[in-house]
Amino acid sequence: MFVDAIARVERSLAQAFTLTKGSESPPLLSAAMRYAVFPGGARIRPRLCLAVARACDEDQPSLSSAAAASIELLHCASLVHDDLPCFDDAATRRGRASVHKAYGERIAVLTGDALLVLAFQALARVFECAPSRLGGLINIVARAVGAPNGIIAGQSWECEPTVSLTQYQRAKTGALFAAATSAGACSAGYDGNQWQALGERLGEAYQIADDIRDVFSTEYELGKPIGRDEILDRPNAVRRLGVDSSVRRLEELVASAIESIPECPGVKDLQTHILAEASRLLPRELARPAA
Amino acid sequence: MFVDAIARVERSLAQAFTLTKGSESPPLLSAAMRYAVFPGGARIRPRLCLAVARACDEDQPSLSSAAAASIELLHCASLVHDDLPCFDDAATRRGRASVHKAYGERIAVLTGDALLVLAFQALARVFECAPSRLGGLINIVARAVGAPNGIIAGQSWECEPTVSLTQYQRAKTGALFAAATSAGACSAGYDGNQWQALGERLGEAYQIADDIRDVFSTEYELGKPIGRDEILDRPNAVRRLGVDSSVRRLEELVASAIESIPECPGVKDLQTHILAEASRLLPRELARPAA
């Protein structure tokens, strides 16, 4: 199922990229956009979106595929801009040069911009088969990215003199996970709002796992520098709670996420998906087999 | 009519901004987003969008208002990113500090991003009253901004070793004008494609007027530094053709734009709008009264 879902995500991303083709494409921008998206990471968010759509017996798979692609494009866009010299100044990402290191800062700014636009365009391209669901989907996705509570707003909290950690992480990480579950449900004709909680809890769990990996992984495993939170004095659950409590908190969040799953035909498969994903989030030496 | 249209644009922009409000808004990002949009410039593109919608006897004004707001938000987003240190490094815009000078580079990057997202969100908020037109509108707008032919692609041609001037200007300026006319028509239920040519020609005319102003205006009139094209060695019609030929070319383009107007109920008013706009584009000493 993992391989199937990954393949479907890659296909839907490739399909979105057909919209960027043209006889007059600027070569650097085109190359950098692909570089930022392929090859991808674990595609956690779009696979979550598809798992929810499947659990809701998706009746229009092209719509959930577009939703999944859109969410991954927005995630990639945010990584490109987060890595810029004025933010994290990260030289590597996914095990190779970050976009601005490979293509220069100007192309990196424009790549993030163009991926944001492509995310909405990818949704709109399927409007003909489901016009009544398009508005809802765009609202879900836009809310997860923009002001006041989306990932861009989350990133902007880094520029404020004071910030609530919960608020920061909810916007920076939780919002797009919540969009993944809501958009998966909405694209299958379910009420996206009821699926927000699942995504929010998984987002929080993912954030903690990310904090743990920042401390315990090797740079090779992570594909980006480790120990960045300490260097950049960013909040990190392990620095705050210690490793055991962090792992426990992660497990609690996953359990509560599973409890929050609304009624749907494929609840069992979705639980299995979430547990399997959760067990992959931790560095091997900390992971316990899924219950 | 000018005052009415401006007021309507401002109202629709203000309405779009209600989407960014929340108890947990990051203050700097919120302030910078408003700063980038209010007070505006001449709002040429959204007024053009509304003029076309009116000429097409708009049956759903909330949709054309949203389209106009969306186009202005995208324009403002592109100005914020164009002004960044890695591009034009412009210290002023619309007669005051550019966003990155006023709020810092990080907030400026995020402001451009958030305005891009808001542009799509503003369209989606009206989906309930016209779901069947939303997809078409989003496609028009996304094409005008993204890769391969939108303003972001246009800006990215500045990073290429060689570039066709026509291609560059068509993407950088023409695309959003074409979106303004197409979106105006589409939001009124007309075929947007037929209205592309009008926008493209007006975009080209505007580009020439912009080149002329870069040479002939004062910094006070322009609200941004003059003579930038020469300093940045950017293509400029006056440098290439001389001033008389540039003014003549502008007049030809306006005439051919007017000829291209497709059949619609309000063709006369639209012609008047376009001629009045064109006469405002040139510095006073070069303008001739509208024919």
For the segment A83-116, what is each residue's pLDDT rounded down to a tens digit?
Answer: 999 999 999 999 999 999 999 999 999 999 999 9
Which of B87, B159, B176 should one mutate to test binding to chain A, selecting the residue with the greatest count of A CBs within 10 A? B159
Give the pLDDT band of residue B233 (cuts 50, 70, 90).
confident
Q: Which residues of A touch B186 (CB under 8 A)?
A: none
pTM of this structure: 0.94
Is the pLDDT assigned to residue A218 strictly greater than 80?
no
Tell me what pLDDT residue B2 has: 67
Domain residue limits, chain A? 2-281
Judge contact between A127 and B134, C-beta under 8 A. yes
Between B127 and A220, whose confidence is greater?
B127
Q: Does A167 touch chain B (CB under 8 A)?
A: yes
Q: Which residues of B touch A28 (CB under 8 A)?
A: 156, 159-160
Which of A101, A103, A109, A133 should one mutate to test binding to chain B, selecting the residue with the greatest count of B CBs within 10 A? A109
Tell me what pLDDT residue A256 has: 97
Give the pLDDT band of residue B226 (cuts 50, 70, 90).
confident
B 8-37 residues inside an 8 A Cβ radius of A: 19-22, 24-30, 33
Tell me what pLDDT residue A188 has: 96
How high is the mean pLDDT of chain A? 91
pLDDT digits (tens, 9 = 90+) for B189-207: 999 999 999 999 999 999 9
Test A147 with B104 for CB contact under 8 angstroms: no
Tell me what pLDDT residue A219 has: 67
How high is the mean pLDDT of chain B? 91
Q: Give, in order, the Cα–Cα distances in Å from B13 to each of A71, A84, A281, B36, B45.
A: 26, 30, 42, 12, 13
Is the pLDDT assigned to residue A290 strictly greater than 50?
no
A 131-160 residues inside an 8 A Cβ radius of B: 131-132, 134-136, 138-139, 142-143, 145-150, 152-153, 155-160
Chain A's closest residue to B160, CA to CA, is A28
DSSP annotation string for B4-67: HHHHHHHHHHHHHHHTT--TT--HHHHHHHHHHHSS-S--HHHHHHHHHHHHTT-S-HHHHHHH
Is the pLDDT assigned to residue A33 strictly greater than 70?
yes
Give the pLDDT band of residue A291 (cuts 50, 70, 90).
very low
ipTM higher than 0.90?
yes
Q: What angle do CA B199, B202, B204 make, to 5 degrees?
A: 110
Chain A's closest residue to B29, CA to CA, is A156
Q: How far is B11 from chain A (nearest CA, A)?
A: 19
Test A156 with B29 for CB contact under 8 angstroms: yes
Tell me what pLDDT residue B140 has: 97
Q: How far is A216 from chain B (nearest CA, A)?
A: 29
Tell me what pLDDT residue A115 has: 98
pLDDT over 70, % of chain B: 95
Between A289 and A162, whose confidence is greater?
A162
Tell me what pLDDT residue B290 has: 47
In the three-class reduction of DSSP (H, G, I as helix; E, B as strand; rest coil), residue A93 is classed as strand
Give the pLDDT band of residue A227 (cuts 50, 70, 90).
confident
Task: Give the torsion sign (CA, A99, A101, A105, A106).
Answer: negative
Average pLDDT over residues B150-166: 92
- CA–CA gap between residue A278 and residue A209 (Å, rounded): 9
Give the pLDDT band of residue A15 (cuts 50, 70, 90).
very high
Tell me which residue of B112, B54, B55, B60 sits closest to B83, measured CA to CA.
Answer: B112
Q: Does CATH number 1.10.600.10 belong to domain A2-281?
A: yes
Is the pLDDT assigned to residue B95 strictly greater than 80?
yes
Is the pLDDT assigned to residue A20 strictly greater than 90?
yes
- From A19, A121, A159, residue closest to B107, measured CB to CB: A159
